[in-house]
Amino acid sequence: MTKLKLTPVAARAKVLSIVWLVLMVIGSIGADQASKVHAQNTLMQWQDEKDPSLYQGQRNPVFALGSPVAEDGNLYFSFSFNYVRNLGAAWGALSNLPDSTRVPFFYAVTVLAVIIIGVYIRSTPLNHRLAIFSLSLILSGAIGNFIDRFRLGYVIDFLDCRWNLFGWRYDFPNFNVADSCITVGVTFLMFDMIVLEGVRKKRASQVATQVPAGTVA
């Protein structure tokens, strides 16, 4: 099949879209790494130079709503900066694996994920803006956490949310900017796949079945 040649305007729009996406990914990764360096410098109180699992972080409350007393019907939400090191995956999964297994495993998984996301971004039409934006956020988060693992051997988490909603008391696992990018990206991507894709198919069906103007039935 012959590939259609883009018009000059469409080609310029494609280049600008690619530049914008690259800048967004670089900016997201930069914000993630800068925030982690700041957390390391301001919240980390003590560390063992040889064992990364031995350290002491500091928790700085930012704001809190309600009372932390655990009672039925009580409402409470707090947000803090709390330095922790994650040697595993999300919520510390697989952190107990030996370094000889854990490190290459996460390297391989991250590289594979980046390749797959890159292929999806390349194959997604430019007019599917939300999907491309979502995939770019996920890519940014994956690279941001990979840099931590490569540079430090662990991921720095420092965002801490805790709540008590009508008796449901929960301390959400600490996370970082890269994790936020991944979460927001996955949420938007699901919305695109479930909602917007249905809208696009409906519009395409309407256009395909539309009777051309001036046609006599």
How is residue 64 written in tokens? 């809190």
With cut-offs at 50, 70 and 90, classify the pLDDT of residue 212: low
- Write out the chain in H/E/C secondary structure: CCCCCCCHHHHHHHHHHHHHHHHHHHHHHHHHHHHHHHHHHHHEEEECCCCCCCEEECEEEEEEEECCCCCCCCEEEEEEEEEEEECCCHHHCCCCCCHHHHHHHHHHHHHHHHHHHHHHHHHCCCCCHHHHHHHHHHHHHHHHHHHHHHHCCCEEEEEEEEEEECCEEEECCCECHHHHHHHHHHHHHHHHHHHHHHHHHHHHHHHHHCCCCCCCC
| Greater model confidence, 215 or 159 | 159
Residue 30 has pLDDT above 80, yes or no: yes
Burial of 54 (0-12, 13-18, 19+ CB in 10 A): exposed
**Catalytic residue list:** 157, 179
159-190 confidence digits (pLDDT tens): 999 998 877 888 999 999 999 999 999 999 99
Write out pLDDT tens, residues 135-144.
Answer: 999 999 999 9
pLDDT digits (tens, 9 = 90+) for 111-133: 999 999 989 888 888 888 899 99
Provide the pLDDT confidence category of residue 217 given band limits of 50, 70 and 90. Answer: very low
90 close to 79: Cβ distance less than 8 angstroms = no
Q: What is the pLDDT of residues 63-119, one digit of tens each?
A: 998 877 656 567 889 999 999 999 876 656 666 666 667 778 888 988 999 999 989
* pTM for the structure as a whole: 0.84
Count of CB atoms within 10 A of residue 48's CB? Answer: 10
